[in-house]
Structure 1
């Protein structure tokens, strides 16, 4: 059974290792994180992260932020990172993290939750669609990655309606 909890400062090393192991140009626009780089920093504190555990092992995380840190944007939260350990994929960890992030966003008073996903990452897009997210826009050729131009797909889900059935 997957347990979801808020990250703790003591999760830094295990999350940094997970982040490095799961890094891929399929989903990342930033370079691969270097060995020894802390996971948490001033811009990305533990309280912005939910952690998935199977037993006592951390197997995933999701980062949830208010993308526009002004009162006019207080009703929106954005997923700005999701990683699941390769060994735990297919066990519902990603979906559990997404649902926990939606519940946390609603608890914080958000009415909608958004995210951005690379156009070539169709597996992630399907995961988000199964969780009730809809494509709201596409920024064509927004990134040049690994020798190709890649679209930036903008997706969102209302938190005032229930998610689509699984």
Structure 2
């Protein structure tokens, strides 16, 4: 795959079903703290609008998405954005799609006058942690044994990066 073949674009309302299918196909306790979505689940709603998402397309096929939102609704915190969802199709993982989505989310956050972007990742999700580190994120905190997933206690890792400079 060349990066020329990959297109990152804002999500459309019609992207809901393919994003749900992508989520379901990639679901695992490695990256999720909630049960797998139902086939008829809704991706976008009032609390989770399409405008929060960027979508990766490869040869016209949706192969990934990232969701980036304000960290909180507080005016004193409006300079911070947070990544709250990333999924890449299992058949294109390791080919730069995730990194392209993360970098696009950081650029979009900067365009919205954000100075920082943060995220939470499960401690045992080594591939995701390595991706975020390649994109300049650093561990800023650890919540030990925050989740019990499939019978195992898992740390919640807080990561962040500056966007200004």
The two structures have a TM-score, normalised by structure 1, of 0.95
- The alignment status of 1:100 with 2:104, answered yes or no, reads yes
C-alpha separation in 2, matches of 1:58 and 1:4: 10
Structure 1 residue 6, shift from structure 2 partner: 0.5
- Partner deviation per Cα, 1:105-139 (whole Å, 9 max, x = no partner): 00001000000000000111011001100000000
- The alignment status of 1:14 with 2:14, answered yes or no, reads no
Of 113, 119, 129, the residue aligned with 2:117 is 113
C-alpha separation in 2, matches of 1:111 and 1:144: 33
Instruction: Structure 1: give runs of 5+ residues left out of the alignment.
Output: 162-166
Structure 1 equivalent of residue 51 of structure 2: 47
Instruction: Structure 2: give runs of 5+ residues left out of the alignment.
Output: none
3-state SS, counterpart of residue 41 of structure 1: coil
Structure 1 residue 91, shift from structure 2 partner: 1.4
Runs of 4+ in 1 over 4 A off after TM superposition: none
Structure 1 equivalent of residue 76 of structure 2: 72
Structure 2 equivalent of residue 159 of structure 1: 163
| Length, aligned pairs only | 161
C-alpha separation in 1, matches of 2:22 and 2:43: 10
Structure 1 residue 70, shift from structure 2 partner: 1.6
- The alignment status of 1:31 with 2:30, answered yes or no, reads no
The two structures have a TM-score, normalised by structure 2, of 0.96
3-state SS, counterpart of residue 78 of structure 1: strand
Of 137, 141, 146, the residue aligned with 1:137 is 141
Structure 1 residue 43, shift from structure 2 partner: 1.0
